[in-house]
Chains A and B, each alone.
Chain A
Amino acid sequence: MIFETIKIAFQSLYSNKLRTLLSMLGIIIGVSAVIAVVSIASGSQAQITSQISDLGSNLINISPGVSRGWGGSISRSSTDLFTLQLGEEIEKNSPHVKRVVPTGSAGGLFIKGNNNFRANVVGTEEDYQAINKYYPAQGIFFTDYDVKNSTNVIVLGSDLIAELFPESDPVGQNIKYNINNRTHIFKVIGVMENKGRGITGNLNGQAYIPITTFMNKISNSNYVSNFVAQANSSETANQALDEIKYLLDNYISENDEYNIFSQDQLLTTINDATNTMKLMIIGIAAISLLVGGIGIMNIMLVSVTERTREIGIRKALGAKKKDILFQFLIESLTLSSVGGIIGIIVGGLAAYFIAQVGGWPFIMSISIIALAFSFSLVVGMFFGIYPAYRASKLDPVDALSYE
C-alpha cells in the first residue's frame, strides 16, 4: 500500500515535470545553499586551523596600535616604542616566554641580470626559523653575527628563485634590491624551503635579511614592525600573554596602545567569524526553505482541486479519509524530499568545485546531509498536511460530480 502510494505520487509528479521542478525550486535552493555553505566553511576553516596550528599554537604576536586622540590630545602611533631593546626586555622578564623575534618588512624590487621581481624583504633574527618552523633548503640562514654587524646577506624564499635565478645556482651570488630609489646589494647565502601559504602571508614570496641591516639601511629607523614571542609550550601561552601584557602596560604610557594576540585567540576569532557567517547564510537559506514550503503547499492545493474527481473515484472505490490524506501527504513529502536530494547534490557539487578553486579540502559531513534532508521532509510534512487534509474531507458525491 505505501509503495503503491509512493509510486502514484511519483507518477503524478512525473506527469507534470516542469511544475514539479518549479515547485521544488525553493527547497532545492535552500538545501543546496545550506550544504554548500557548511561544506565550504568547514573546508576553509579546517585549512586555516591546520595552517595556524602548523605554525604552533604557542605564538604571540605583538604590534604597535594607534591610540585615539581623546579630548584634544592628538592621536598617535606607539610605533616608536617598538625598539629592539623592548624585545630583549620581554624575553628577559617573562619567564614563560622562550624567545622573542623582531620583524620589519618593506616592499621593493629585486633585480638579477635581466630578471626582476617585486617582493617583500623581511628583517628578522636567526630564531625566525625556529618560530615559524621554516628552514633553508639550500645554503644557510644568517646568524647573530650578521645581526650584530648589519651584514648585507639575504636568504630568498622559494618563489623568488624561479623568477630571478631560472638557471643558475643562487647561493653565493649577489643580487640587487631597489627600494625608495636606492639600490642595495646583497649576497645570497641561502634559499628557504617551500612552505605553503600561511596566515602570516605567503612565506615563499619573501626574502629575509638581518633585522639590523633592515633598520639601518632600508627603513632607516630605530623601530621594528612587530614582535613574535614564543611561549615555552602551548599550555603556557596564556600565561606568557599575560606576562607580556603586564610588562608592556608598565613600559608603555597610558595613552599608547598595542595589539597583542596569540595564535589561539586568532584561531578563535577566525572560527567565530566563520561560524557567524555560516549561521547568517543558513538563516537566509531557511527563509528559502520556508518559501519553498509555501510553494509546495500552493502546488498541492492546485493538485487537490485538479484531482477532485480522482479523489471522488477513489472514495467510491473504498478509499478512507486516511488513505486520501496519506496519498497527498506522501506526494508532498516526495516533492520535498526529491527537492532535498537534488539540493544536496547541487550544493555538494558547488562546494566541491569551490573547494577545488579555493584550494581547501572538500568536507561534507553526514550529519549536515541528514539535517538538510530531514529539514526538507519537515517542510514537506508541514506544508503538505493542510492540502492533504482538504483532499481527505471532500464529500464523495460532490467530488464525483466535479467537472
Chain B
Amino acid sequence: MFKEGQIISQDLLWEVTKVIKVKDISKIYENGKIEVEAVKGVSFEIDEGELVSIMGPSGSGKSTLMHILGCLDKATSGYYSLNKQDISKATEKELAEIRNKDVGFVFQQFNLLGRSTVLHNVEMPLIYSGMSKKERIERSKDLLVKVGLGHRMDHYPNEISGGQKQRVAVARALANNPSLILADEPTGNLDTKTGEEIMDLLQKLNDQGHTIILVTHEDNIAAYAERTIKLVDGRIKEDVPA
C-alpha cells in the first residue's frame, strides 16, 4: 500500500528510531462562522519504545492532538508521520488501515462492544485486518492470558469489573501488534488501586518495547512516563524528560 518513495517525504529524512514525527501541525475547527484553532503549530518526535504522557487542562487541545495522533482525524496543516507513513497524505481508507494495524486505543470509557464476548472484542481488529478465524482466536486467547483474563474470555463486558474491562481493552489494543498504543485517560473511570494495576500493565508493555502515549491530566499517572509533553492553549508549554 505504501511504497517507500511515497512514505518518505523529500524534505524530511526519516530517522529509523522515530515512531512519531510531528512537525508544525495545526487543527482548525470551523464552527459556523467562527474558526477555532484547537492545536496551534505543535512539533515533537517520539522514539520507538518511549512512554510519553501528554498533559494539559481541558480545552488545551490534547484530545484533538490525540485524535490526530490516533489517525481518527487529520490535521488541518503540518506534517505527521507514524511508523514511516506520511499520515498527512493518507486517504480515509488508508487511515482506517493505519488505525487497524499501527494504532492500539485504550479509552477512558473502555469502549468495548457490549453485545460481543470478551474474546470477540479482542478479535475485532484482527477481523478487520483479515486474519483467519483460527489464527485470530489463538492470538486473542494469548493476549487475554497475557493481560490476566484467560478465565473471562466467554464473558460479556457487563459481566466483568472496570479493571477487567480495561485489561480487555489493552489486549484489544495489542491485537495487531501496533507501533503505537494510545491510552486516553486509561484510569479515568477506575479506582486508585485498579488504576495502578492498569498503569503497571502499561508499564510492563512499555518495558517489553511498546511505544505508548498516555493522555492524562493527573500528575500521578503522568509520573509513569519518561517524558511529559504539556499542552496549554493548543501549544506545547514544556516537553520534559522525567
Contacts and interface: CB of A to CB of B under 8 A. Distances in A.
B92 A321 contact: yes
B111 A320 contact: no
A317 B115 contact: no
B172 A317 contact: yes
Contacts of B145: none
B97 A316 contact: no
B130 interface: yes
Nearest to A12: B115
Q: Which of A309, A318, A323 has the most CB of B within 10 A?
A: A318
Interface in B91-121: 92-93, 96-97, 99-101, 105, 107, 111-113, 115-116
A321 B128 contact: no
A4 interface: yes
Contacts of A319: 96, 100, 128
Contacts of A312: 111
A318 B100 CA distance: 4
Shortest 8 CB-CB contacts between residues of A and residues of B: A318-B100, A318-B128, A320-B96, A396-B72, A317-B125, A313-B111, A318-B99, A397-B73
Nearest to A11: B115
B99 A317 contact: yes
18 contacts: A8-B115, A8-B116, A11-B116, A313-B113, A314-B113, A316-B99, A317-B100, A317-B105, A317-B125, A318-B96, A318-B99, A318-B101, A318-B125, A318-B176, A319-B96, A396-B72, A396-B73, A400-B107
B204 to A, nearest CB: 23
B97 A320 contact: yes
B67 interface: yes
A316 B110 CA distance: 12
Contacts of B116: 8, 11
Nearest to A322: B93
B111 A400 contact: yes
A315 interface: yes
Contact of B111 (A4, A8, A309, A318): A309
Contacts of B124: 314, 317
Contacts of A315: 72, 96, 99
A242 interface: no
Contacts of B6: none
Contacts of A316: 70, 72, 99, 105, 111
Interface in B178-221: none
Contacts of B17: none
B223 interface: no
B209 to A, nearest CB: 22
Nearest to B172: A317
How big is chain B's contact interface, by range?
20 to 34
Interface of B: 67, 70, 72-73, 92-93, 96-97, 99-101, 105, 107, 111-113, 115-116, 124-125, 127-130, 172, 176
A310 interface: yes
Interface string A1-43: 1001000100110010000000000000000000000000000
Given A8-B116, A317-B105, A320-B97, 5 more contacts: A316-B111, A317-B172, A318-B129, A319-B100, A321-B93
B72 A323 contact: no
A359 B185 CA distance: 73
Interface in A363-403: 395-397, 400
A399 B67 CA distance: 12
Q: Which of B67, B73, B128, B172 has the most CB of A within 10 A?
A: B128
A68 B129 CA distance: 83
Given A12-B115, A15-B115, A317 B73 contact: no
Contacts of A320: 93, 96-97, 128
Contacts of A310: 113
A397 B111 CA distance: 13
B137 to A, nearest CB: 12
A396 B113 CA distance: 15
A152 B100 CA distance: 100
A397 B72 contact: yes
A316 B184 CA distance: 13
Contacts of B129: 318
Contacts of A321: 92-93, 96
A312 B96 CA distance: 12
Interface in A333-350: none
Q: Which of A313, A317, A321 has the most CB of B within 10 A?
A: A317
Nearest to B99: A318
A256 to B, nearest CB: 80
Contacts of A317: 99-100, 105, 124-125, 128, 172
Nearest to A5: B127
B142 to A, nearest CB: 18
A285 to B, nearest CB: 34
Interface string A111-146: 000000000000000000000000000000000000
A313 B72 CA distance: 11
Q: Which of A1, A11, A313, A323 has the most CB of B within 10 A?
A: A313
Contacts of B105: 316-317
Interface string A287-304: 000000000000000000
B111 A1 contact: no
A318 B97 contact: yes
Given A320-B96, A397-B73, A1 B127 contact: yes
A320 B93 CA distance: 6
A299 B72 CA distance: 28
A278 to B, nearest CB: 43
A203 B96 CA distance: 78
B140 to A, nearest CB: 13
Q: Which of B100, B105, B129 has the most CB of A within 10 A?
A: B100
B67 A397 contact: yes
B72 A400 contact: yes
